[in-house]
């Protein structure tokens, strides 16, 4: 640790001049740890020192990375064990005890859904459904909705019935929209701020995990990658992506190449460029990840690669555990509007070793999902899935009591909850 500090002080002297040495010494003289009290110490500085805040904070982050070995940081932020993943995936439904009012509201919603439910062949995306195993099997074979055909959702949801825990029905939603429901439904993703909306499950697995293997096999060594930041994608995100692309499309900085490839609704054909294959994207050191309607489907293979990921702090979570990714440990954080993108890119170019270590930790984290699409069956994460099914059953048992769901009638359940 002492040797690391002396090395960093030397670099700081070269970067900031003798005038900044007292400032640096004030902050770094005490122990600096990952995710430590940098913000608290910044508040102790005078207003004069605060003028140097941005650059100083960046270099303290760099010092933190340099002062600790990659292995120590990996140990400080390990991949979550089974019980932790259960808590993350279950969200607010983890060992939840419902109040009488919550039970009453859930009963009403469930009974209305039961009375108005569509036929299984009419299963739609972005809609909450109550389905059996046979319904899911029929949906996968007969659905006329392109997003549900070919094992994209229904087939993955069948694994809910394959954990060895008996369950008759599944409350589930397919697609990118998280419904506003008081029920314990199964979902692919949810906003991080709304952990009570849904229990996470691996759905549409092929789209989100199948590129991990190809990325791992076709990657380019760091030293052979171009020092350029790139992004390609469709204008999903309800206009957010298109707005960001418009800001950087005509950027004179040739080290940033951001463009749409597909215009669906909000984009503009004037800000499109030809698509880039994953192999072409991996020839660049810096990859930008942008959320669309929910999680970024390409984030998984980007993190697995030897490139380093730039992205705003994720706002959605899924089976890939986005909430466990830490800025400057697994990715380089940028503002939601990308206003500091140039600044962070310059930092990355001047801190190549730090970027390689960030990329290495991200690769180790995401390698836990390597091959996931190829082995997605009832044995994949079986213990976690069993715990999630138990969380679901516990919630449904509180809502229904001793009544089977087949006799769920609004008047009956409402009168029972009132007694």
Instruction: Rounding to the nearest 10 degrees, give the CA dihedral for residues 182, 186, 188, 190.
Output: 20
Q: Which residues contact 26 (CB under 8 A, 6 or more apart)?
A: 41, 44, 45, 49
* Residues 206-226 pLDDT 10s: 889 999 999 989 899 999 999
Choice between 372 and 324, residue whose per-residue pLDDT is larger: 324
307's tokens: 């490139």
Choice between 376 and 264, residue whose per-residue pLDDT is larger: 264
pLDDT band of residue 117 (cuts 50, 70, 90) is: low
- In the predicted model, is pLDDT for residue 72 greater than 90? no
What number is the average pLDDT over the span 40-63? 42
* Residues 382-413 pLDDT 10s: 999 999 999 999 999 999 886 666 656 545 54
Lowest mean pLDDT of 130-134, 145-149, 382-386, name the range. Answer: 145-149
What number is the average pLDDT over the span 371-381? 69
* Phi and psi angles of residue 90, each rounded to the nearest 5 degrees, phi first: -75, -25
Most confident stretch, 36-40, 96-100, 118-122: 96-100
E strands in 251-356? 256-262, 284-288, 308-311, 316-318, 332-333
Domain ranges of the chain: 2-68, 82-203+376-418, 211-369
In whole angstroms, give the CA distance from residue 87 to residue 78: 16
CATH 3.40.50.2000 fits 211-369, yes or no: yes
- In the predicted model, is pLDDT for residue 124 greater than 70? yes
pTM confidence score: 0.78
Give me the sign of the Cα torsion angle 132, 136, 141, 146. Answer: positive
* Residues 228-276 pLDDT 10s: 999 998 888 777 888 888 888 877 667 899 988 888 877 678 888 899 9
Contact between 244 and 338 under an 8 Å Cβ cutoff? The reply is: yes
pLDDT band of residue 102 (cuts 50, 70, 90) is: very high
Entry field: residues in the chain:
419
88's tokens: 């993350």
In whole angstroms, give the CA distance from residue 344 to residue 328: 11
Contact between 190 and 173 under an 8 Å Cβ cutoff? The reply is: no
């Amino acid at each position: 640790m002492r040797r690391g500090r002396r090395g960093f002080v030397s670099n700081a002297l070269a970067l900031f001049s003798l005038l900044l040495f007292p400032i640096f010494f004030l902050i770094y003289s005490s122990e600096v740890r990952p995710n430590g009290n940098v913000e608290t110490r910044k508040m102790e500085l005078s207003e004069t020192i605060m003028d140097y805040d941005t650059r100083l904070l960046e270099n303290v982050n760099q010092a933190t990375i340099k002062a600790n070995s990659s292995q120590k940081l990996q140990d400080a932020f390990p991949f979550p064990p089974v019980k932790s993943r259960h808590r993350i995936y279950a969200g607010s439904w983890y060992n939840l005890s419902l109040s009488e009012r919550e039970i009453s509201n859930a009963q009403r919603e469930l009974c209305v859904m039961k009375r108005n439910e569509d036929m299984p062949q009419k299963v739609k995306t972005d809609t909450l459904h109550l389905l059996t195993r046979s319904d899911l099997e029929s949906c996968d074979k007969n659905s006329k909705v392109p997003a549900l055909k070919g094992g994209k959702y229904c087939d993955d949801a069948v694994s809910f019935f394959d954990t060895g825990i008996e369950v008759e029905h599944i409350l589930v939603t397919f697609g990118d929209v998280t419904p506003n429901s008081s029920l314990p439904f199964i979902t692919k993703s949810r906003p991080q701020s709304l952990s009570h909306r849904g229990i996470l499950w691996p759905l549409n697995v092929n789209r989100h995990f199948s590129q991990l293997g190809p990325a791992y096999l076709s990657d380019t060594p760091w030293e052979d990658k171009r020092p350029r930041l790139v992004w390609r994608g469709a204008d999903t995100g309800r206009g957010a992506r298109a707005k960001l692309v418009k800001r950087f499309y005509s950027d004179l900085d040739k080290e940033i190449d951001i463009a749409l490839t597909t215009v669906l609704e909000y984009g503009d054909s004037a800000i499109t460029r030809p698509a880039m294959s994953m192999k072409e994207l991996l020839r660049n050191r810096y990859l930008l990840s942008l959320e669309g309607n929910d999680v970024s489907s390409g984030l998984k293979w980007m993190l697995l690669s030897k490139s380093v990921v730039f992205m705003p702090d994720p706002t959605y979570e899924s089976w890939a555990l986005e909430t466990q990714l830490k800025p400057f440990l697994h990715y380089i954080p940028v503002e939601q509007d990308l206003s500091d993108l140039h600044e962070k890119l310059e930092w990355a170019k001047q801190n190549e070793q730090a970027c390689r270590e960030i990329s290495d930790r991200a690769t180790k984290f995401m390698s836990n999902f390597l091959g996931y699409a190829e082995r997605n069956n009832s044995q994949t994460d079986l213990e976690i899935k069993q715990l999630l099914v138990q969380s679901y059953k516990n919630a449904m048992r509180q809502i229904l009591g001793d009544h089977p769901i087949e006799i769920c009638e609004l008047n009956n359940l409402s009168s029972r909850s009132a007694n």
